[in-house]
């Protein structure tokens, strides 16, 4: 439903924001920047694959408002 999709979008955005912020705080160099991109690609890839394979939210036991 729309509430769950909105929750998923906020969760993914917050996760990517956290990775980027951590890299920024660490005064990232080019090697760190590559690591940040690798982490983001992995996170988003796994997230999307899970949704594509029906892993919507049932297993997460989240409550819907």
pTM over 0.75: no
pLDDT in tens, 13-62: 999 999 998 887 777 677 788 889 999 999 999 998 888 877 655 555 55
- Confidence (pLDDT) at 14: 97
Domain ranges of the chain: 2-60
Query: Which is higher by pLDDT, 12 or 28?
Result: 12
Task: Concatenate the DSSP letters of all residues of the chain into one string.
Answer: -HHHHHHHHHHHHHHHHHHHHHHHHTT--HHHHHHHHHHHHHHHHHHHHHHHTT-SSGGGTPPP-
Pick from 23, 21, 18: nearest CA to 36: 23
């Amino acid at each position: 439903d729309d509430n769950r999709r909105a929750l998923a979008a906020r969760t993914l955005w917050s996760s990517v924001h956290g990775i980027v912020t951590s890299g920024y705080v660490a005064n990232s160099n080019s090697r760190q920047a590559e690591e940040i991109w690798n982490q983001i690609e992995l996170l988003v890839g796994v997230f999307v694959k899970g949704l594509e394979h029906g892993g919507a939210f049932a297993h997460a036991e989240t409550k819907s408002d």
